[in-house]
Structures are given as structure tokens and as C-alpha cells.
């Protein structure tokens, strides 16, 4: 994990700068790295941007590193936004 990218991305996330957060958090992981926290936060930022398919992918990448809650969170978020998963 690129700690500097993560910290900058997390700061952008906390400030509500969703586009910067999604980009920086995406850059924080090495290719093939599993990091549920990064993927979950990135998914949240992408949801705020209305990029639901990208958010679903980020949440799916978080699943191997997270417990069952993350899967439930994905479905709850998709449902609450009217994502095509529930149409």
C-alpha cells in the first residue's frame, strides 16, 4: 500500500472531495493487492459520484478482505440508490 496516497485520499474522503478520494484511494493499492478498507472507502466515494457500477466493483474487490457485513452494505447501498441491481 502506498501510505501517502492512502492518507491523502482519506483526507479528501473526510473533506467530501469524492472525485479526488476515489482517484487517490484507487492509486493507493498495488496491483493485485487486497485491502478491504481502501476498496470500501473508494466504493463509498464512487457511490457519492453516482458511479454505481464502479462502486459495485470496488465493493466486490473489498469482499475477500471483509466479513459478511460488506456484502450486506453493498446491497443496502445499491437498493437505497435505485441501482439496476434492484430494478
pTM: 0.73
Conformation bin of residue 28: beta by default, left when phi > 0, alpha when psi is -120 to 50: alpha
Closest by CA to 71, choosing from 59, 79, 87, is 59
Cβ pair 20, 9 in contact under 8 A:
yes
Domain 3-86 annotated CATH 1.25.40.10: yes
Q: Roughly what angle, to the nearest 10 degrees, separates helices 52-62 and 68-81?
A: 170
Domain ranges of the chain: 3-86
pLDDT one-digit tens code per residue, 8-59:
999 999 999 999 999 999 999 998 888 889 999 999 999 999 999 999 889 8
pLDDT one-digit tens code per residue, 50-60:
999 999 889 88
Amino acid at each position: 500500500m502506498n501510505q501517502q496516497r492512502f492518507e491523502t485520499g482519506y483526507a479528501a474522503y473526510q473533506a467530501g472531495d469524492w472525485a479526488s478520494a476515489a482517484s487517490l484511494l484507487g492509486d493507493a493499492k498495488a496491483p493485485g493487492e487486497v485491502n478491504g478498507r481502501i476498496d470500501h472507502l473508494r466504493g463509498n466515494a464512487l457511490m457519492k459520484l453516482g458511479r454505481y457500477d464502479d462502486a459495485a466493483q470496488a465493493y466486490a474487490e473489498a469482499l475477500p478482505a471483509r466479513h459478511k457485513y460488506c456484502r450486506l452494505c453493498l446491497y443496502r447501498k445499491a437498493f437505497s440508490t435505485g441501482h439496476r441491481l434492484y430494478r
